[in-house]
Amino acid sequence: DAGVTQSPTHLIKTRGQHVTLRCSPISGHKSVSWYQQVLGQGPQFIFQYYEKEERGRGNFPDRFSARQFPNYSSELNVNALLLGDSALYLCASSLEGRMNTGELFFGEGSRLTVL
C-alpha cells in the first residue's frame, strides 16, 4: 500500500507569489495534518483536518490556509510568500482525529524555496 504522498517534492518561488502543496493520505485515513520544518528545527504544527473540517490550527498567519477534499486528500496554500516561508512542508495522516488513538504517518515532504 502507498504511504502518504506529497507533491511537488521540490519547488522554487519568488517573494509575493502563491504556492499550493498537495497531500494524499494513506488509504482509509481520515485525518490530515500539515507541519512546517525549517532547516535545523523540529516540525511545527500548521493545521489539522478531520472528516473535511479544520480541527486545529497552529500559530501561523492567515496567509496559510488549507482544505480537505471528500476523498480525504488535502491542499495547503500559502499566499504572499516571504523568504522565511522556505521550509520542508510535511503532511501526516492518521486513521482518526485524536493522537491517542493511533500513529501519525508522515510523507516525505515538499521542499519550498522562496527567493
Binding site for other proteins (CB under 8 A): 4, 31, 33, 35, 37, 39-45, 48, 50, 55-56, 58, 90, 92, 94, 97-100, 103-109, 111
Nearer to other proteins, 66 or 92 (CB): 92
CB of 71 to other proteins, least distance (A): 19
CB of 63 to other proteins, least distance (A): 20
Contact 106, 6 (CB under 8 A): no
CA 25 – CA 106 distance, rounded (Å): 9
Nearer to other proteins, 9 or 18 (CB): 9
Q: Is 84 exposed, middle or buried (0-12, 13-18, 19+ CB in 10 A)?
A: exposed
Other beta carbons within 10 Å of 6? 23
CB of 81 to other proteins, least distance (A): 19
